[in-house]
Amino acid sequence: MTEEKYNDIKPYSDEQIPQAMARIASDPAFDAVSNYLYPDKPLSYFREMALSCRNTNEFQERIMCSAVFRVLEMSAGKLTFGGLENFTPGRKYLLMSNHRDIVLDSAIIQAILFKNGIQTTEMAAGDNLLSSPFIEDLGRSNKMIKVLRKNISPRELYSASMMLSGYMRESITSGKSSVWIAQRNGRTKDGLDLTEQGLLKMLQMSGKDDFLNDFAELNIMPVSISYEYESCDFFKSAETYIKQRQKYVKGKDEDFISILTGIRQYKGDIHIQFNTPMSIEEISSAAKMDKNERFQTLAAAIDSKIISNYRLHKTNYIAYDIVNKTNKYANKYSKEEASKFIEYMQKGLSKLMMKERLEAYKPDGGEAIEFNPAELEDIFLKIYSNPVLAKE
């Protein structure tokens, strides 16, 4: 791989890790992270752990895995996973998953792979999430590929997409590393996981204009991620409500707040399913289509694997029955569990409608948003019920 041309976006090399650790350990934000993860330990405990890392592997073992499992211990129920047998030793993949949480989707995948002796992947993440040098150092030390999309022109975006496509293809085909990427730009806000055709077109930009071979050599492995309690579910409900009425403009530090909320919010049980890679037959079926239908067909095949292996939780069945005014899935949950979920929803939505929260959604020069409680509740419930609908 010609590394130099990718210097601005590629993860840190082993040689860059010690300097990155020194910057991370001296950053004022480090103390807050340390206090959250290890409240019963002195600040020196986590700082010395970071400074001891001399390469990416040590960083992922001592910092990344440690942090992920501490977060899950504090804010989740049971973590389950399946499909590790679909990894062939020595083969590299493009892991493409549904996207529900900004950080945890990829972080949990990395922790599972690391703990099970499978080489971790590099991970594509937008530079809009890199709100500080501290976060960029953490991300690129953890094999993050920086996706350039912030404040760039259409011409610059095309060049950045070509560079990203080329880097990922070279990482996989050279045998250097597998790569993780979300199936869409931005998290799923309505519970319906759909692969963006634009993402697939970006992936082929670095190919040789041979649809079958260009996608076959990427070894696309769809991954299904499900949380019992949807990450940032109340924020997503508010955003969807506003988008139905006017242009949605992100607030200051909104991405960073979503990162923190996703980490701290209770997530319940989590399941990750590594599905069988896209076969030559599946890609060939798409390649036979008209040019305008190829990407649509391949996207639908990827979606089918993600949705069919998505694990539904009690929250999904409860929401489905409420939305559809039925008892179709009443055998999947108890009355007490349904009452608990309804109480969770009502408390969270009532906080959204408090005056100080409404002011946060006030457009420039406009009036503060006023939420219709019934409509907001319907949007919230469909975040949970739509995965059941998709599987049906």
d(CA 74, CA 232): 17
Alpha-carbon Rg for the chain, nearest whole angstrom, is: 21
Q: Give which of 196, 214, 215, 184 is closest to 279, Cα–Cα.
A: 215
Neighbours of 72 (CB within 10 A): 19
* Strand 270-274 to 144-147 pairing: unpaired
Q: What does the buried/exposed string (b/e) look like for 98-117 if buried means 16 or more CB atoms within 10 Å of the residue's CB?
A: bbbbbbbbbbbbbbbbbeee
CATH 3.40.1130.10 residue spans of the chain:
4-12+76-231+267-308
Q: Is-above-0.95 flag for pTM?
A: no
Q: Give which of 9, 129, 14, 1 is closest to 60, Cα–Cα.
A: 14
Do 264 and 165 meet the contact criterion of CB atoms below 8 Å apart?
no
Q: What is the pLDDT of residues 188-223, one digit of tens each?
A: 999 999 999 999 999 999 999 999 999 999 999 999
CATH class of 4-12+76-231+267-308: alpha beta
Which residue ranges of the chain lie beneath pLDDT 50?
Answer: 356
The one-letter amino acid code at 319 reads A
d(CA 314, CA 96): 25
In the prediction, which pLDDT does 367 show?
A: 63
Q: What does the buried/exposed string (b/e) look like for 135-149 if buried means 16 or more CB atoms within 10 Å of the residue's CB?
A: bbbbbbbbbbbbbbe
Token duo for residue 343: 């109480």
DSSP string, 231-300: TTHHHHHHHHHHHTTS---PPTTHHHHHHHHHHHS----EEEEEPPPPPHHHHHHHHTS-HHHHHHHHHH
Q: Give which of 259, 228, 325 is closest to 103, Cα–Cα.
A: 259
With tokens 């975040």, the residue in question is 383
Do 123 and 179 meet the contact criterion of CB atoms below 8 Å apart?
yes
Residue 368, H or E segment: none
d(CA 5, CA 304): 36
CA distances from 295 to 72, 81, 199, 215 (A): 36, 29, 9, 11
d(CA 15, CA 29): 24
Token duo for residue 171: 């990482």
With tokens 């399913």, the residue in question is 273
In the prediction, which pLDDT does 25 show?
A: 95
Residue positions counted in the chain: 392
In the prediction, which pLDDT does 245 show?
A: 84
Residues 6+ apart with CB under 8 A from 137: 20, 23, 24, 27
With tokens 């929260």, the residue in question is 357
